[in-house]
A and B are shown apart, each in its own frame.
Chain A
Amino acid sequence: KNQVEQSPQSLIILEGKNCTLQCNYTVSPFSNLRWYKQDTGRGPVSLTIMTFSENTKSNGRYTATLDADTKQSSLHITASQLSDSASYICVVSAIPNFGNEKLTFGTGTRLTIIP
């Protein structure tokens, strides 16, 4: 069964500090891994997308890494801001043969930035 696990479930850090969120997955056949940011009551917004051959990808203060051998990914946030408070969801895409792309969502990490 395809699964995506994220840790920690929740995290509170001071404004200006850095943090790293983790994602482990067992999804086959792997196509790509995405990190989304979701504000409460809003739709998810894509931060990064990485394919099998990519090890790292940055989007401003967000840097995602992917280790396809160990099936692990991380999202590093640098110099956190109050607006970074949100849920961060790891999503892994699979493409079954002759089928539609299937996304497996992690349960998310709830990040709170305090002044």
Chain B
Amino acid sequence: DTEVTQTPKHLVMGMTNKKSLKCEQHMGHRAMYWYKQKAKKPPELMFVYSYEKLSINESVPSRFSPECPNSSLLNLHLHALQPEDSALYLCASSQDSRAGGPQNEQFFGPGTRLTVL
């Protein structure tokens, strides 16, 4: 199974709502990532989890709160978002964020299209 799944596919929320994005992989990968991608732009790294511990936070506002309940799951909790947070949110996983080379290829999920009204 070389698939990263993300739910929901689409999410529309108001600025006062609390919602969560979910990501799952069963490849035995120990690194998981959240990216944000605006239209016609490359993905921007938000968070990296390595062995279920947060290892990179790219100065993301606190209205985004990541959580890694176990090695297969990654959540992104959303609260009090702004309209400019509307974007495609991508989850990815790889064998180990501290390694490099072809064996550490990042596999991306299909993304969640988030719209904040």
**A contact set with B: CB distance below 8 Å:** 31-32, 34, 36, 41-46, 49, 51, 89, 93, 95, 99-101, 103, 105-108, 110
The 8 closest A-B pairs by CB, nearest first: A43-B108, A105-B42, A31-B100, A95-B100, A100-B97, A49-B102, A44-B108, A43-B110
A93 and B100 within 8 A (CB) = yes
Number of inter-chain CB pairs below 8 Å: 61
Q: Which of B13-21, B43-51, B65-73 contacts A (4 or more CB under 8 A)?
A: B43-51
Residue of A nearest to B111 (CB): A43
Most buried by A among B31, B56, B99, B108: B108
Question: Inside 8 A of B4's CB, which chain A residues have their CB?
Answer: 43
Chain A residues with Cβ below 8 Å from B111 are 41-43
Residues in chain A near residue B31, CB distance under 8 A: 100
Q: A32-B101, A41-B113, A49-B102 are in contact. Are A100 and B56 (CB under 8 A)?
A: yes
Query: A54 to chain B: closest CB distance in Å?
Result: 9
Q: In the bound complex, do residue B43 and residue A32 qualify as a contact, i.e. CB atoms below 8 Å apart?
A: no
CA distance A51 to B100 in the complex (A): 10
Give me the interface of B with A, judged by CB distance under 8 Å. Answer: 4, 6, 31, 40-43, 45, 48, 50, 55-56, 88, 90, 92, 94, 97-102, 104-111, 113
CA A45 – CA B56 in complex, angstroms? 23
Please report the C-alpha to C-alpha distance between residue A46 and residue B107 in the assembled complex, in whole angstroms: 8
Cα of A105 to Cα of B50 in the assembled complex, Å: 21
> Among the listed B40, B42, B104, B109, which residue makes an inter-chain contact with A101, where contact means beta carbons less than 8 Å apart?
B104
For the complex, give the distance between the alpha carbons of A93 and B106 in Å.
11
Contacts of A101 in B (CB 8 A): 94, 97-100, 104
A107 adjacent to B97 (CB under 8 Å): no
Bound Cα distance from A57 to B76, whole angstroms = 36
A49 touches B105 (CB 8 A): yes
- In the assembled complex, the Cα of A43 lies from the Cα of B108 at a distance in Å of 6
User: Do B105 and A43 touch across chains, with their CB atoms under 8 A apart?
Assistant: no
Q: A100 vs B105: C-alpha distance in the bound complex, in angstroms?
A: 13
With A49-B105, A100-B55, A100-B56 already in contact, the answer to whether A105 and B100 are too (CB < 8 A) is: no
